[in-house]
Amino acid sequence: MEKDTLALGHIRQLAKKMHASGLHEIELHNGHWSLTLRYPARPAVAGGAPFPLELRKPAPSGANAPPDVTPLSAPMPGRVLLRHPQQDAAWIQPGQRVTQHELLALLKVGALYLPLRSPTTGVVAHIVAEQGQAVEFGSPIVLIAAQP
């Protein structure tokens, strides 16, 4: 049988090597699948300190975009759950205050449910993804505005 898929372990190794080499984006295509890996540009780090892996996209640009918006992005491909799967209760609403590490949503990956926690303290500015929407790595799910 012809192997026409990539193992998750190989994707992780590729992502680590890509990040270590300073590449910002790579795309792989096959007749049956495509894979895109993106990292944000590395800022200059004083003292040679290691650069932490960031799974965020830059804030949206434009005149109406809030100046201090932090996106919560998908750490891997999956389906977004904005409500509790058994109670059908939403975790967040636009305008709601959230604290850092607070549970905002779940990402369903196969049979697993991964918690999506707030990267910062602030106010939910916009919920980008919809309940049950399929997202890719790095796709913004929730935008959180810094509190004044």
Q: Is pLDDT larger for residue 10 or for residue 99?
A: 99
Residues of the chain with CATH 2.40.50.100: 69-146
Let me know if domain 69-146 sits in CATH 2.40.50.100. Answer: yes
What pLDDT, on the 0 to 100 scale, is given for residue 71?
A: 92
- Alpha-carbon 31 to chain mean position: 26
Helices (H), the chain: 8-21
Phi/psi at 82 (5° precision) = -95, -10
**Cβ atoms of 40 and 18 closer than 8 Å:** no
Question: Is 70 exceeded by the pLDDT of residue 36?
Answer: yes
What pLDDT, on the 0 to 100 scale, is given for residue 55?
A: 37
pLDDT per residue over 104-147, tens digit each?
999 999 989 999 999 999 999 999 999 999 999 889 999 999 87
pTM of the model: 0.55
Question: Is 60 exceeded by the pLDDT of residue 83?
Answer: yes
Strand partners, 80: 107
Q: Rounded mean pLDDT of 23-45?
A: 71
Q: Rounded mean pLDDT of 73-100?
A: 90
